Structure 1
Amino acid sequence: MIPNEVLEYSVKVTLKEYSDMEMILLKGHLVLEQILYQFISAHQLDSKRVDAMNLMFSKTLELAMAIDANSIKEKYPHLKEIKRIRNKISHELFFDDYHQDLKKWASTVLGYTPKTINSKRT
């Protein structure tokens, strides 16, 4: 399992420093990737060999699923969707409509649609 310190540090220190939604999404994606690495490491795989694979987010997620699908399967579609949104922001010069995609994703993760999406809390 993921140590609470990693998640708390990521949210309290890393993400709360930013107010730009794109930066929060990009940094949040990196946080999720680090959490997946921690998950993989917790299953006692040879971390040097895993690092040598130079896995991107998608392959890291697939490796985590292969290791322990029961722990990941509920979160899997949410992680795939946030990767898709992040990739559009990173690779499309004019992808300005990400706010709608991000709001839909956040509402799905939360299980309801908030009246406003506050980046500091959501």
Structure 2
Amino acid sequence: MKSVNLQRTESLLMELIPEALSTLGDARINTLAITHVNCKNGKYDALVYFDGSDYEKKEITQMISLLNKANGRLKSHILASTGWYKCPDFKFLNDTALEQSRNIESLFAQINKSKSDKE
């Protein structure tokens, strides 16, 4: 179980990271949907998941590179917004949970179709 403070930090980062991204001039990442933030080691590391379902693998790799380059500006924005002494180090990952849930839904649809075909 995560502590309440850690959950509060994750929630705050879920709000502030998209806000910080929207201030950037790069149209490829300033509208990127952040789906989840998972803080590790207290507030020292954070895994930031984004929705990459509309992009190909090559584009996702490019997005991660752009996000890593913008890491310093994101941290500056978050520090200015929160007044924290230290901001977590961000690691950006493509959230594949949405894609997996779509695959599961399509499997259920196929099962229902095959059951109705048998009847």
TM-score normalised to the size of structure 2? Answer: 0.30
Larger radius of gyration: 2
Which structure shows the higher strand fraction?
A: 2
